[in-house]
Structure 1
Amino acid sequence: MSDILDHTALIKALPAETKAQLTKRSDAAGLRHLALYLGAIALCMLGIAVKVPLWPVLMLPLGILLVFLFTLSHECTHQTPFETRWINEVVGHFCAVAIALPFVWFRYFHLAHHKFTNDPERDPELEHGPRPSTLGTWLIYLSGWGYWRAMLSTLITNARGQAAASYLPDRRQKDIQREARILLAVYGVALASLLYSPLLLWVWLIPVLIGQPFLRAYLLAEHGLCPPVANMLENSRTTFTNRLVRFLAWNMPYHAEHHSFPNVPFHQLPAFHAITRAHLKSTSPGYAVFTGEYIKHLQN
């Protein structure tokens, strides 16, 4: 495969045994990663709860860990982090509570994104308009304001039974409504608890607010500045980064690879990257570099 291929030709050219190996899922790999991830969250929360010296500083790494649960939720929509189906479902719903991302609804939203990646007319990630094009809209985007507003609106709409997007199947409407009502009830109890203790403010609410800009910057690199074409090796970006970021994002910096072959679980993406690397059309040598390039494209 020395010639440059698009994603469909590349996947078609893979031997059957290679495809089988690449798509092999593992509870052990997923649970090991999850244990390390949740352990890091627990350590940060414990340090804040017992008020170790300089404990407010821990809210930043905690916030980054919490908001990057988005990438785990995203993987769970594909049923790939774990071999056992119910574990994917439980973990996906856990992430939903932490970051206000209703899991049942998000699965269909995200599958539509895969089907129409970077299509300005049909990609649901672009349904509220294109990615930021001015410095002002970029800063607002980084703040996370758009995300929190959209999720609150989605939860309220879904709870009313008014979810009407074309990608949402009628058979799941009751599940989507029930999910939204449960999440809103949980958040109501959480807010009420602040009348008795500010703990959730320090270990959850403030951290997810200050962590959101890091997730927004990361997500913008996935498809920002990529052309609206059908080739997943071109409309999605792979960003070369360090192990810490790959750990946080469950190897999703290999994003062109993920879009090309979504059935590949996170722990197999490095192996798939070795196969796809020569065919990648959109890459960046780091998130700082991408951000610098993106800023250059912003209008004053």
Structure 2
Amino acid sequence: MTAITSSAASPRDYSLTGRDARLAVENGLAAAEWYHTDIPRKQMKELMQRSDEPAIRDTIIWLAAFVISAAGGIWFWGSWWCVPFFFVYGTLYGSSTDSRWHECGHGTAFRTQWMNDAVYQLACFMIMRNPVTWRWSHTRHHTDTIIVGRDPEIAVMRPPDLLRVVLNFFGIVDAWHAMTDM
């Protein structure tokens, strides 16, 4: 109880080697086995069967949507008609690229590993993430999700830095750090 009280009085340490990382281990939060699915293992394996065909189809549609929205934006450049095309392009870039990064990083999008790796590398480039660092960081994240001092991917620290949250909504702070790091 004193550890919780004393950590509440001082700012949290989100580093992987700091005080709060040690407290997470001492309090049994690190690598906890608090969740499991009620689906039997055999049925889960059947549900998890992968195939390259849907992922190839979806990747072609994803890339085609980029080309079409970019071409529309360029074609209508100089008029207000370019706005919806660039809106679609930006939305695809900011959202669907991250989901492809995530699933291909786990190796779950395609059955074939080199296809997962190719799309993962492309998505990392597009969203300014170092592919090696992020693969390790994301594995760490799934080990101790949202455990302070154990999860390097907690998006909003407490207390929140609202200016940083708003700037990162547009990728301003993270993109700058990614460019300087890479």
Shift of 1:76: 0.9
Q: Does 1:87 align with 2:115?
A: yes
What does residue 74 of structure 1 align with? 102
Counterpart amino acid of residue 97 in structure 1:
F
Structure 1 unmatched ranges of 5 or more = 1-5, 156-300
| 1:130 maps to which of 157, 166, 174 | 157
**Residues 246-285 of structure 1 mapped to structure 2, 5 A cutoff:** none
Matches of 2:166 and 2:41, distance apart in 1: 46
Q: Distance in 2 between matches of 1:26 and 1:131?
A: 41
Q: 1:44 maps to which residue?
A: 69
User: C-alpha distance in 2, partners of 1:140/1:115?
Assistant: 28
Is the contact between residue 132 and residue 141 of structure 1 (CA under 8 Å) also seen in structure 2? no
Rg (Cα) greater in structure: 2
Distance 1:137 1:98, change over 3 A: closer
Q: Is the 8 A contact 1:27 1:83 kept in 2?
A: yes
Choose 143-152 or 110-119, whichever is displaced more. Answer: 143-152
Distance 2:156 2:39 in 1: 37
- Seen in structure 2, the aligned counterparts of structure 1 residues 31 and 143 have a Cα distance that, compared at 3 Å, is same
Shift of 1:153: 3.4
Please list the CA deviations of residues 62-114 of structure 1 after superposition, one character each: whole Å capped at 9, or x if unmatched.
01101220110111110000001110011111112222222222111111111
- For structure 2, the 5+ residue unaligned runs are 1-33
Aligned to 2:153, what secondary structure does the other structure show? helix
Larger deviation, residues 81-90 vs 139-148:
139-148
The answer (yes or no) to whether the contact 2:69–2:89 under 8 Å persists in 1 is yes
Q: Quick one: structure 1 residues 100 and 134, their matched pair in 2 at CA, closer, same or farther if it must change by over 3 Å?
A: closer
Change over 3 Å in CA distance of 1:100–1:141 after alignment to 2: closer
State the partner residue of 2:54. Answer: 29
Which residue identity is paired with 2:43? Answer: T
**Residue identity matched to 1:60:** F
Contact 1:93 1:103 in 2 (8 A): yes
C-alpha separation between the residues in 2 aligned to 1:139 and 1:98?
A: 20
Q: Which residue of 1 aligns with 2:166?
A: 139
Aligned to 1:111: 139
Deviations, residues 221-249 of structure 1 (Å, cap 9, x unaligned): xxxxxxxxxxxxxxxxxxxxxxxxxxxxx
1:151 aligns with 2:168: no
Structure 1, residues 97-141: CA drift from partner, whole Å, max 9, x if none? 222222222111111111121011111114x97166365444234
Label 1:143 to 1:97 Cα distance change in 2 as closer, same or farther (>3 A): closer
Output the amino acid matched with 1:151.
Answer: A
The aligned residue for residue 15 of structure 1 is 40
Query: Is the 2:156–2:165 contact (alpha carbons within 8 Å) kept by the matching residues of 1?
Result: no
1:131/1:151 Cα in 2 relative to 1: closer, same or farther (>3 Å)? Answer: farther
Aligned pair in 2 of structure 1 residues 96, 148: CA closer, same or farther (>3 Å)? same
Check the 8 A contact 2:137/2:152 in 1, yes or no: yes
The amino acid that maps onto 1:21 is E
Identity of aligned residues (%): 25
1: CA distance between counterparts of 2:49 and 2:158?
35
Give the conservation status (yes or no) of the 8 Å contact 1:44–1:58: yes
**Aligned-partner residue type, residue 140 of structure 2:** A
CA offset at residue 48 of structure 1? 2.2
> Deviation at 1:149?
2.4
Shift of 1:37: 1.5
Alignment of 1:215-230 (within 5 A): none
